[in-house]
Structure 1
Amino acid sequence: MTVTVRFAPSPTGYIHIGNTRTALLNWLFAQKNGGRFILRYDDTDVERSRDEYARAIAIDLDWLGVKPDQVEYQSKRFDIYARSVEQLKRAGLLYPCYETAEELERRRKLRLARRLPPVYGREALKLTDEQKAALEAEGRKPHWRFLLPNYDSDPFVTRRTEVHWDDLVRGPQTVDLASMSDPVLVREDGTYLYTLPSVVDDIDLGVTHIIRGDDHVTNTGVQIAIFRALGAEPPVFGHHNLLTTVSGEGLSKRTGALSVGSLREAGYEPMAIASLAVLIGTSESVIAAADMAELAEHLDLAGISKSAAKFDPAELDTLNRALLHEMPFDRAAPRLAALGIDGEKAEPFWNAVRGNLNRFQEARFWWQIVTGDLPEKPELDEQDLAFVREAFDLLPAAPWDGQTWKNWTEAIKAATGRKGKNLFMPLRLALTGQPHGPELAQLLVVMGPAKTLARRP
């Protein structure tokens, strides 16, 4: 059996970090088990689904390193769902109901007043053919409910019916079908609710493991019953905790909160996002994994907490810096070239500045400092100005190497008596125009004698 997982976003907005967590957990699980990853767009909501969102989701996943083995659209699979609907109808497991929303709400309140569970009472099963015809003559169209297997012979006498599964994240789980209403699978207008297409697709596409947010736990018992009603063995389930904002708010595609696109535009590295999205709220330490293979080694679904985890962008900043500071030149080189940073100076430049970067794009600023003109003339008081001019007179002769900075500053100390910040800060300002930045010992070599001398005030 080939492990097969799926990520099933609705293309009704841009995916946020919470959606991304689900996608990454599935992708890494497939990679770790030599399996397949299906990207399935749950786009049956034709009014809200947009091609632009589907394209954006594909771009975001690709940027993160998630490469689907198969892509499907539910909007192209209606014939398959229709056949399953007919199969359930023939088996007497899908029955028409004609109640309006207002009628259902009245019944719910009445049951609550009688201290009864507010579940659907299956009144529609008592309708005769004549009554159904009369209702339809009034213009009513039926919605269709799935008859849960929570009774012996009389559907109006339910009994405790436990559905069990061993959850990959949460361990042994139990749901009592007698505590639930028969779910609506088909609306009055003939469109499908989430549950039916999802189960039918999982069967048809050979999904073996369903890894999703724990907001779906309550759906699982019903879905297992539908799997079996359609003659299929249910997949293995795993329900991970959800991510929230730092303030504890849920994430929403509609608000764009922490969307992958916005994080990408802010300059974050994909592996910083992936590392935090996967490892936060688990028993694993949150580390900046260099690639997906390393991140997969830290995947432990059973180690995921049952409590929601707060996604803090400040942690993302820390991981982003760690990735940049450790990034080797061969990995950075193509991106540096895209910024116009190449040639023989590119590698020593990268090694000099990477430890000072928060975002990769900042390398362009330092390249301008090293190879171009300073953005603005540094401001030095009279004493520092005199000091810097004397220091420049002491510059060692070429060629320069890693010892040049040490030799130069030692000569300056001996000649001027300055040391510490009083020595280094005026030199840094004169050379770079910035009060902070990369180590000057490395930067000086990249700048070279000609560019350095050009900075003499």
Structure 2
Amino acid sequence: MTTTRFAPSPTGYIHIGNLRTALMNYLIARKAGGTFILRIDDTDPERSKEEYVDGIKQDLEWLGLHWDRVERQSLRLDRYAAAADDLRAKGRFYEAFETPTELDLKRKKQLNMGRPPVYDRAALDLSEVEKDRLRAERGDGVWRFKLDRERIEWTDGILGPISIDAASVSDPVLIRGDGQVLYTLASVVDDMEMGVTDIVRGSDHVTNTATQIQIIEALGGTPPAFAHHSLLTGPQGEALSKRLGTLALRDLRAQGVEPMALLSLMARLGSSDPVELRTEMAELIEGFDISHFGSAPTKFDERDLFPLTGRYLAGLPLEAVAERIAALGVPEAERAAFWEVTRENIATLGDLEGWWRLMQDGAEPLVDPEDRDFVAEAMALLPDAPYDTGTWSTWTAAVKDKTGRKGKALFMPLRKAVTGQERGPEMAALMPLLRVVRARG
């Protein structure tokens, strides 16, 4: 059975980059009728916070990305310890004691000599006496996995054939000196024991994947299928890393972005398929194909989410927004008409408030200097409220007869004077909802 996972660290809220990974893994599992695991990577007790665990779950639920089960790495430390013992017994795990400063000096020396800055495995030459002395002086060392220095190859679901020379990669640290198990080991053990068959993650993990393939094989497992999606950039190709904090899903939600608008964009962004608004998760699942994604950096512009949100909202029935409209104070008898007038003229539901305020209090007139006399003359012909569906045509016909204006020169100045906007709903439908027109005053 196809099994995928999303493994966020609860050190912050989910941002748009995390969502790309979560969504791809979710869609693969659902399309295959498989299992989607939410795995909380909380092995770092200092940085992991329960509020972020709750926040991650809330964001996924808001999007409709429902998991089949939750796992927490902090509850599986015994499994990682057992795997570490297994690697030690097989001669693939060794303790190293270099300080960060010493490692930095080694890297600089190698670079100056034109060599790749790879850990030199000096710790393998330490005697037990020397190790005891270093432990006494510095405390416990880190534990490194001893790579087989051969080529590591796999066929990536997005990048195609990958081949990495393990001799160009440092033996990865899997356990820190303070005993904290790092992601590289914990993830491998979990993927093996949870039967994960497919893993999609960012292209910045390619080298990490190579080392994990060797660790899996050293522990007697079979590597899953890997796919590495491109990283997101800003609309001009700039790095998103400094802006991800402002692209948290909860911030986009607060701005009024609708889940299906966000999912519709992210399910196609970076692929050869066009972005199309979908209104049901089943449509996204059916149309998803990981092989259609490319390796080039993918431009993301959050402004694209608002036209999609507007189109999604325009297709909703009154029942879906009735509670929001009622909260504005719109009388029940007017709610259907209010929604019909506004549904195609909003980017988010938050825009409804502005339309209701305009209908109640009128809008600040928008009058061009050359139209000032014309608007004043026209407003003298507008009767007092209440208005009906015939008011607009009757009024504009009277204004046309008196001023001789017609077409856009007639209608646009009047729209701007009544609504304060150049675009908006059909005026015939809007007029019956207007309590007052400020331009009359």
- Please state how far the C-alpha of 1:170 moved relative to its aligned partner: 1.3
Aligned to 1:388: 379
Aligned to 1:97: 96
Partner Cα separation in structure 2 for residue 267 and residue 440 of structure 1: 26
> 1:429 touches 1:435 (CA, 8 Å); kept in 2?
yes
> 2:188 touches 2:215 (CA, 8 Å); kept in 1?
yes
Cα distance change on mapping 1:424 and 1:106 into 2, 3 Å:
closer
Q: Which residue identity does 1:14 align to in structure 2?
A: Y
- SS of 1:256's equivalent? helix
Show the 5 A alignment for 1:23-422.
23-150=22-149, 161-252=150-241, 256-341=245-330, 343-370=332-359, 372-374=360-362, 381=372, 383-392=374-383, 405-406=392-393, 409-410=396-397, 413-414=400-401, 417-422=404-409
Aligned to 1:158: none
- SS of 2:383's equivalent? helix
**C-alpha RMSD over aligned residues:** 3.1
- Please state how far the C-alpha of 1:433 moved relative to its aligned partner: 5.5
Q: Which residue identity does 1:4 align to in structure 2?
A: T
Which deviations, in whole Å up to 9, do the C-alpha atoms of 1:338-373 show, x marking residues without a partner?
Answer: 444462322232122122112221112212333x33
- SS of 1:362's equivalent? helix
- SS of 2:332's equivalent? coil
- Please state how far the C-alpha of 1:210 moved relative to its aligned partner: 0.7
Partner Cα separation in structure 2 for residue 252 and residue 13 of structure 1: 14
Which deviations, in whole Å up to 9, do the C-alpha atoms of 1:358-392 show, x marking residues without a partner?
Answer: 2221112212333x332658889565344333343
Cα distance change on mapping 1:98 and 1:415 into 2, 3 Å:
closer
TM-score by length of 2: 0.88
Q: Which moved more, 1:104-113 or 1:70-79?
A: 104-113
TM-score by length of 1: 0.85
Which deviations, in whole Å up to 9, do the C-alpha atoms of 1:179-212 show, x marking residues without a partner?
Answer: 2222111111111222001111112222211111
Which deviations, in whole Å up to 9, do the C-alpha atoms of 1:278-322 show, x marking residues without a partner?
Answer: 322221112232232233344221121211112123323332333
Which deviations, in whole Å up to 9, do the C-alpha atoms of 1:60-87 show, x marking residues without a partner?
Answer: 2222222222222222221221121122
Partner Cα separation in structure 1 for residue 293 and residue 125 of structure 2: 46
- Please state how far the C-alpha of 1:414 moved relative to its aligned partner: 4.7
- SS of 1:305's equivalent? coil
Cα distance change on mapping 1:389 and 1:48 into 2, 3 Å:
same
Equivalent pairs counted in the alignment come to 438
- Please state how far the C-alpha of 1:260 moved relative to its aligned partner: 1.6
Q: Which moved more, 1:290-299 or 1:200-209?
A: 290-299
Q: Which moved more, 1:239-248 or 1:383-392?
A: 383-392
> 1:251 touches 1:257 (CA, 8 Å); kept in 2?
no
Partner Cα separation in structure 1 for residue 377 and residue 223 of structure 2: 80
Cα distance change on mapping 1:413 and 1:103 into 2, 3 Å:
closer
Q: Which residue identity does 2:140 align to in structure 1?
A: K
Cα distance change on mapping 1:381 and 1:453 into 2, 3 Å:
closer
Identity of aligned residues (%): 47
- SS of 1:237's equivalent? strand
Which deviations, in whole Å up to 9, do the C-alpha atoms of 1:227-271 show, x marking residues without a partner?
Answer: 122222111111000102234343348861322222222222222
Partner Cα separation in structure 2 for residue 363 and residue 293 of structure 1: 29
Partner Cα separation in structure 2 for residue 315 and residue 148 of structure 1: 45
Partner Cα separation in structure 1 for residue 53 and residue 132 of structure 2: 42
Cα distance change on mapping 1:175 and 1:455 into 2, 3 Å:
same
Q: Which residue identity does 1:138 align to in structure 2?
A: E
Which deviations, in whole Å up to 9, do the C-alpha atoms of 1:30-55 show, x marking residues without a partner?
Answer: 22222222222212222222222222
Partner Cα separation in structure 1 for residue 316 and residue 174 of structure 2: 51
Partner Cα separation in structure 2 for residue 169 and residue 179 of structure 1: 23
Partner Cα separation in structure 1 for residue 122 and residue 365 of structure 2: 83
Q: Which moved more, 1:120-129 or 1:379-388?
A: 379-388
Aligned to 1:12: 11
Q: Which moved more, 1:52-61 or 1:167-176?
A: 52-61
Unaligned runs of 5+ in 2: none
> 2:362 touches 2:436 (CA, 8 Å); kept in 1?
no
Partner Cα separation in structure 2 for residue 99 and residue 188 of structure 1: 11
Unaligned runs of 5+ in 1: 151-160
Cα distance change on mapping 1:226 and 1:391 into 2, 3 Å:
same
